[in-house]
Structure 1
Amino acid sequence: MKEIATKILKDSKLITVLNKNVFDTLLIILVFTLIVWYAQYHWKRKKLYAFAAKRNGPFALPFIGNALHFAGSNHDILSNALKIANSYDSPVRVWLGQKLFFAISKPHQLEVIMNSPNALEKDELYKHAEAIGGTGLFTASVPKWKRHRKIIMPTFNQKILDDFVEVFCEESQILVKQLEKVVGKGTFNVFHYVSRCTLDIICETAMGVTVDAQTTDSDYVKWANRAMEIMFTRMFVIWYHYDFIFNLTSLAKEYADVAKKLHDFTGAVVKERRMAYQQKMKESKERPEALFEEEPKTRKTFLQQLIELSEAGANFTDEELREEVDTFMIAGSDTTASMNSFVFIMLGMFSEIQDKVYEEVMDVLGSDRPVECKDLIKFVYLERVIKETMRLFPVGPLLVRAITEDIELDNAVIPAGSSVVMFIMALHLDPEIWPNPKKFNPDRFLPEEVAKRHPYSWLPFSGGPRNCVGPKYAMMAMKALIATVIRKYRFSTEYKTIDDIKLKADLMLKPVDGYKLAVELRE
């Protein structure tokens, strides 16, 4: 018995030794494999490292790069990005983890990038926006973007836009009524009121839906705002790029929740409108004379035009229609609300400029005539005020594109595999282009002054083939709204200088402390 026990003990020791040897061997193989993979990974990226070494930029730490510069609040992220842009010559090299970015803020360089076929693809950072807008125009891959853009552009023709002016004015008149609640009551956040007005406008013009956001409690604005805040946070917090980490956070659940609510809202409208159109077409085939019967004149919405184009051969699915409508809703509602709110703050800050705008509006409209299409072109000074506001407060402070092939600039080559950050805000505050850049001066946009500058010096709507599809829509809507409101109210603000307005970005530029305004009735 003793001999058997001794043999078993010896055998177990032998097995232990063998197991240890196997484990050590496997560990060596694993370490060697990782070293080989790591070496190959960096060898394949040697071109990126070589180009990165030729450009100045902040010191990058191993593995995380410059990620710590983009930690903290959305205000900190924007502030640090501006500091980096102002500290180095464009293009500036920045590493976010293992991803290489070049920040560009010079007009001639932006023109090259924005018009290059090798910089049309949106950066993979924007995939985090797909939970909200899907793969609509804003985030679509290049082939899909080209197809959809070609179909969608005609829906923004001048005749269609002119038909929308009545909606702009009707909803702006409701805004005038809503602002009566805060007359003489001191400072309030004007965005709360303006965003509901622009939501009503966009719902009417994009979908033909009346949501009465101004007069009833609508959650759409809150959903959209929160979605963009989470989206921007995920883009710039490097560890949130990994789904398995982000999905462990409460933000992931909240993001999914607001996305579903936004999609349910627009998806239901898309389905109902498409079914109605298909039913109408079916009836016209069964009763051809119906095509010649006079119908009540209706305003064609963005969605209606897309449905008609789809049924005529464009073949949009319900999901594609919803994605484009979602994109238009987010891009058209919040952005114009923000710009209108910034304009009101600028008018409140500079009373002499407010007086000039008021006088121009009164000269064109008189005291109570509603704005008409023919009036908008006459608001020349107001347009300059809007443009100067958009210079100081560009809604999209930065845009990011993936580089698919090397692009040669005047002083650098941007290599394939990197990404370009087109830093619009840094461009708009460049003292070489805009002397005394923090001074609010609408006369910068006099025709003779504009002619002196590079055409890519002012890019609130981006530039090149992948620019915003709706700049005319936005400008017309803003002019109509501001002209309607300024006849009734005088504005003031607690902000005394441009620097008093601390800014943050969550895809869209916003003031940290809100759009602070006070209104009084004009006598």
Structure 2
Amino acid sequence: MELDVLPIPLTWILLALLPVLFYVYCIRPHQVLKKMGVPHPKPLPAVGNMLDMMKNGMWNPDAQVERIEKWGTVYGVYLGMNPYVIISDPEMVREVFVKQFPKFINRAPERLNLEVKPQCRMMTALVDDEWKNMRSTVSPAFSGGKLKQMAEAMNTCANMLVENIGKFAEKEESFDTKDLTAGFTTDTIARTAFGLEVDSQRNPEDPFVRYTREPFATVFKDPLFWLFFMFPGIMKPILERFNYGFLNKNVAEFFYNVVDQVMGMRKTEGGAQGRVDFMQLMMNAHKDEDDDNKAEGIQVQGVKKPLSRDDVVANGFLFFIAGYETTATTMAFTLYNLALHPEVQDRAREEVCQVMEDRDLVDYEAVHKMPYLDMCISETLRMYAPAASIVRVTNDEVKMKWLTIPKGFNVMIPILGIHYDPKRWPEPKKFIPERFTKEEKEKRDPFDWLPFGAGPRNCIGMRLALMELKVGLAKILMKYRIVTGPDTDIPLVIQKKKQFPTPENGIKLRAELLQD
């Protein structure tokens, strides 16, 4: 062999190359932020600042505030080999969400988008025109007119929630608030979005409930997820080759069956008549794979883009898991805040009772006449925002103030750091609904409050979630006083490792029947 004539053994050559390769692939990429002039903590080879970020956890307001105080309103971190610029500067946040939105339209770079169905077809993963197409398809489901038609279903589910609370009130027992609110939001979304009669409040073992509870619960425990996150260039083709996603396959199969059944029922004569829900809008834009001529698509910049079966399944599933979890969590935390502040609860109750004096249904018009209840919800969302941060990726070079961000770069907005910034929100750990009076909101930068994101790619279900919250809370307040019990944690201890704000021991509260 020719290698035999080399004066130096091949093994020695390879050993000499290892430090070079290590530098090229594990150290040199960590020079990007320095070249950009962005301050950042010193990264470790390969893992970057990942260990420190994991130690502090995902949902940790104190850690976000401390990093901003130490590194400034624009700083960077390396998550594995991926550099991120973290921006809390108000003017630059506005640039990201609104002024230069076309350059920040996507949530992740292509190298971090795993092309495995159905999750790759979720609206959160779609990019550019595909995202625009999906957004414009489902947006009508959340119009004021559609929400008005959902009020009766919401009230029915809220009545069951009140009934369940009443069972604990009769026995003078504490209840796990999130368990009850999760049942309410599950039933509400199933009815208003899919037209399904799911009674999870009576039957928590219903398959629909079981398969929608924490479908991604094991994602962060999967070593392949972290390998993909740190080395996407290597792991992405491997995972896609074996069609390996991070959504439980049993969950995916269950939702495919549900969607097929719903679509089958609605295609029968009169099955879809008069329906205006999320599922029907997606069906109207669905492409029949056996006959392209049957496709009923929509126009996006002059191009017809019908939805596939994967699109319908992925976004039906996404809407359900996102809507039930975040709304249930917010309702539970709102009840906790009201229990700790009885004077606030009394004022909210007085407002609700006054609005409902001549009404039987907490409808669309009624909830818009409850500004103080809205203030209580808004302050709860500030304190317990469902998402700790929002990520956008540049699809072109971006210039903001002194900073130039290259194309394909990750930009993170630290929601908790903004929501707990003492300069924006004095005494940020206190529950003060009056922060959201009309006068106070006018004084404040609108980008200081971001529980639903902002701009064209904000949370599409925001209006539905707020109406659902107000209907459920109004029904409770009209009949019960929510109080703390001997097993209520004060203050709550939040699990920092969780994706959503999750109390260590749940939220245990009690209810007292109001006297007529």
- Contact 1:120/1:142 (<8 A) preserved: yes
Deviations 1:230-285 (A, max 9, x none): 33566998446369999xxxxxxx996x733332333223222333444439xxxx
Q: Which moved more, 1:456-465 or 1:26-35?
A: 26-35
Once the two structures are TM-superposed, the CA of residue 48 in structure 1 deviates from its matched residue by 1.9
Correspondence 1:471-510 to 2 at 5 A: 471-493=462-484, 500-504=492-496, 506-510=498-502
1:448 aligned onto 2:439:
yes
Q: 2:187·2:198 contact (CA, 8 Å) conserved in 1? A: yes
Whole-Å separation in 2 of the counterparts to 1:397 and 1:375: 31
Aligned to 2:10: 26
Asked whether the 8 Å contact 1:128–1:231 carries over to 2, the reply is: no
**Residue of 224, 231, 235 corresponding to 2:219:** 231
CA deviations on 1:25-82 (whole Å, 9 max, x unpaired) are: 4335545666666666689858724435x22232322222211112358468665444
More displaced 10-residue stretch of structure 1: 410-419 or 374-383:
410-419
Residues 489 and 508 in structure 2, CA contact (< 8 A), matched pair in contact too: no
Deviation at 1:406, TM superposition (A): 2.9
Unaligned runs of 5+ in 2: 237-243, 287-294, 299-305
Amino acid at match of 2:469: M
- What residue is the counterpart of 1:291 in the other structure? none
SS in 2 for 1:517: strand
Instruction: Give the conservation status (yes or no) of the 8 Å contact 1:406–1:413.
Output: yes
Question: CA separation in 1, counterparts of 2:57 and 2:165?
Answer: 30
CA change 1:197–1:43 in 2 (3 A) is: closer
Deviations 1:144-198 (A, max 9, x none): 1122112222232211111011111000001111122322544332111110110
- The change in CA–CA distance for 1:143 and 1:461 in structure 2 (over 3 A counts) is same
Aligned to 1:12: none
Question: Which of these residues, 165, 175, 178, is aligned with residue 188 of structure 1?
Answer: 175
* TM-score after normalising by structure 2: 0.83
2-structure distance, mates of 1:77, 1:466 = 24
Q: 1:137 to 1:211 in 2, by over 3 A?
A: same
Q: Against the structure 1 CA distance between its residues 46 and 213, is the aligned structure 2 distance closer, same or farther, given a 3 Å change threshold?
A: closer
> Which residue, out of 263, 266, 277, partners 1:301?
277
SS of aligned partner of 1:433 = coil
Separation of aligned partners in 1, 2:54 and 2:156:
43
Deviation at 1:312, TM superposition (A): 2.1
C-alpha distance in 2 between matches for 1:399 and 1:235? 24
Which residue, out of 313, 316, 326, partners 1:322?
Answer: 313
Query: CA separation of 1:127/1:240 partners in 2, compared to 1, >3 Å: closer, same or farther?
Result: same
Aligned counterparts of 2:422 and 2:326: Cα–Cα separation in 1: 26
Amino acid paired to 1:119: F
The residue aligned with 1:122 is 107
Match for residue 212 of structure 1 among 196, 199, 211: 199
Matched, 1:261 2:241: no
What amino acid is aligned across from residue 142 of structure 1 in structure 2? D
Asked whether the equivalents of residues 106 and 427 of structure 1 are also in contact (C-alpha less than 8 Å), the reply is: no
CA distance in 1, matches of 2:260, 2:208: 19
Q: State which drifts further: 183-192 or 315-324.
A: 183-192
Quote how far apart the aligned CAs of 1:522 are. 1.7
Name the structure 2 match of 1:286: none
**Aligned residue in 1 for 2:384:** 393
Provide, for residues 433-480 of structure 1, a one-character-per-residue CA deviation record: whole Å limited to 9, x for no partner. 112211211111111111111121111110122111121111111111
**1:353 and 1:228, CA in 2 relative to 1: closer, same or farther beyond 3 A?**
farther
- Which amino acid is 2:76 matched to? R
Does structure 2 retain, via aligned residues, the 8 Å contact 1:349–1:496? no
What is the alpha-carbon distance in structure 2 between the residues aligned to residue 297 and residue 154 of structure 1?
A: 17
Secondary structure of the equivalent of 2:392?
A: strand
Change (3 A) 1:208 1:359: same
Partner of 1:142: 128
Cα deviation 1:374-393 (Å, max 9, x = unaligned): 21111111011111111111
Deviations 1:400-451 (A, max 9, x none): 2223333223343333343111111111111111122112111111111111
Which residue pairs with 1:521 in the alignment? 513
Answer whether contact 1:51 1:414 (CA < 8 A) is retained: no
Relative to structure 1, the CA distance from residue 78 to residue 221 in structure 2 (aligned partners, 3 Å threshold; closer, same or farther) is farther
2-structure distance, mates of 1:330, 1:360? 32
For 1:359-508, list aligned pairs within 5 A: 359-366=350-357, 369-493=360-484, 500-504=492-496, 506-508=498-500
- 1:339 matched residue in structure 2: 330
Residue 506 of structure 2 aligns to a residue whose secondary structure is: coil
More deviation, 156-165/500-509: 500-509
Distance 1:425 1:80, change over 3 A: closer
Question: Within 1, Cα distance between the matches of 2:56 and 2:33?
Answer: 30
The reply to whether residue 48 of structure 1 matches residue 32 of structure 2 is: yes
In 2, the alpha carbon distance for the partners of 1:26 and 1:471 equals 62
Q: 1:307 to 1:374 in 2, by over 3 A?
A: same
Q: Which amino acid aligns with 1:270?
A: V
Aligned residue-pair number: 487
Distance of 2:68 and 2:118 partners within structure 1: 30
User: TM-score of the superposition, structure 1-length normalised?
Assistant: 0.82
- Matched to 2:196, the amino acid is V
Taking the aligned partners of 1:436 and 1:156, their CA distance within structure 2 comes to 35
- Residues 75-123 of structure 1 show CA distances to partners (whole Å, capped at 9, x for unaligned) of 6866544432342211121112221112222322211112332222222
Aligned counterpart in structure 1 of residue 137 of structure 2, from 147, 151, 167: 151
8 Å contact kept, 1:207–1:303: yes
Q: What secondary structure does 2:92 align onto?
A: helix
1:197 aligns with 2:166: no
Structure 1 unpaired stretches of 5+: 1-14, 247-253, 282-294
1:170 corresponds to 2:156: yes
- Aligned to 1:487, the other structure's residue is in SS state helix
- Which residue identity is paired with 1:504? K
The residue type equivalent to 1:144 in the other structure is E
Larger Rg: 1
Determine helix, strand or coil for the equivalent of 1:101: strand
225-234 or 177-186: bigger deviation? 225-234
Going from structure 1 to structure 2, the CA distance change for 1:350 and 1:488 (only over 3 Å counts) comes to: same
* Rounded Cα–Cα distance in structure 1 between residues aligned with 2:272 and 2:131: 35
Could you say which residue in structure 2 is the equivalent of 1:4? Answer: none
Share of identical aligned residues, percent? Answer: 25
| CA gap 1:362/1:279 in 2 versus in 1, 3 angstroms | closer
What is the one-letter code of the residue matched to 1:160?
K
Cα pair distance change 1:511/1:92, threshold 3 Å: farther
Judge conservation of contact 2:59–2:500 (CA < 8 Å) in 1: no
Query: Greater share of helix residues, 1 or 2?
Result: 1
Q: How does 1:46-125 map to 2 (within 5 A)?
A: 48-51=32-35, 54-72=37-55, 74=57, 80-115=63-98, 116=100, 117-123=102-108
Residue identity matched to 1:168: M
Q: Partner of 2:240 in structure 1? A: none
3-state secondary structure, aligned to 2:502:
strand
1:352, CA displacement in angstroms? Answer: 0.5
